[in-house]
Structure 1
Amino acid sequence: MKPAITRRDVFLGGASLAALAAGFPRGAIAQDAVTADQFIALSARLTETAASSLDTTMAGKLLEGFIESGRGPGLTLLATDTQVDTGTVANDVVAAWYSGVVDTGSGPAVAGFTEALMWNALDFTKPFAYCGGETGYWAEPPQS
């Protein structure tokens, strides 16, 4: 048995048709995707890191992952309005930069390991397989 058409259905259909006929402004429906430069500027603001010290290759991979997982509109809001609160999107951007892992539409993916900001925050360690100097360099106290 088919459900009956309600007054609400007719009203919503008419309103939708009127909006389409009037030519809804493109910006009211959706903004363009965030560009790589906008994402780097946004990331620099959120992580309080200089934009020049953020890896552009990793930024591209992170941005791609956020868009694939449906977080593009939240990124657009964050990039265009510094006062907006988008819940977890800002926290996820910071977490992705520090961990080097982004949640894509098909699961987590490594966007960058040695480029992750955690290595800057953990100044007492370095990425695996990165040498800190000649053999025995650790025997001497670090320069201050």
Structure 2
Amino acid sequence: MDKRIQVTRRSFMAGVSMTALMPATGLAQTGIPFENFAARARAISGFDVVPRNLMVGARTQLDTMQQRAFVAGRTAARDVDKTVLKALYTGMHRPEGQPPERFAYAQALMYAAIEDTVNVPSYCGGVPGYWAEKPESA
């Protein structure tokens, strides 16, 4: 006997709805809103504006317990604070015994701190677009 599964419009919509809800459920399990992490990162870094990709990269270096301790500002989490600050200022993560992983090197805060005097090494010789202007000696 040939048994075919009959998909009704109602069962199809129920499946689509459940699929749409699954990623939100997975993200909600961490319990740490990105805005809370970002606010704490800005507070300890001393910068009002921190690029989002830099904060996302720093956040991915921490597990859920470390993120909770960081957002809560617990004094026992000073090592976590140092980890986040290193990631924000360097744009890199250095796992134990492995080469560094760069995730936002050009946006790192170490360049924002000295942007008036030093250019990011990935730019060639001056601020972006400097070659479009006439030289001062001309």
Q: TM-score under structure 1 normalisation?
A: 0.57
Number of aligned residues: 101
Matches within 5 A, 1:13-52: 32-50=30-48
Displacement of 1:65 in angstroms is: 2.3
The aligned counterpart of 2:65 is 73
**Could you report, residue by residue, the CA deviation over 1:111-141 in whole angstroms, capped at 9, with x for unpaired residues?**
201110011112311112423224756x8xx
1:118 aligns with 2:118: no
The aligned counterpart of 1:128 is 121
Displacement of 1:85 in angstroms is: 3.3
Displacement of 1:33 in angstroms is: 4.6
Displacement of 1:79 in angstroms is: 0.6
**Could you report, residue by residue, the CA deviation over 1:68-106 in whole angstroms, capped at 9, with x for unpaired residues?**
xxxx312212212x3533131111111110000124589
1:99 aligns with 2:97: no
* RMSD of aligned residue pairs (Cα, Å): 2.7
1:58 aligns with 2:54: yes
Displacement of 1:38 in angstroms is: 1.9
* Runs of at least 5 residues in structure 2 that lack an aligned partner in the other structure: 1-28
Once residues 33 and 102 of structure 2 are traced to their aligned partners in structure 1, the CA distance between those partners, rounded to angstroms, is 20
Once residues 35 and 120 of structure 2 are traced to their aligned partners in structure 1, the CA distance between those partners, rounded to angstroms, is 27
The aligned counterpart of 2:14 is none
8 Å CA contact retained: 2:38, 2:55 = yes
Identity of aligned residues (%): 14
Q: What SS does the corresponding residue of 1:122 show, helix, strand or coil?
A: coil
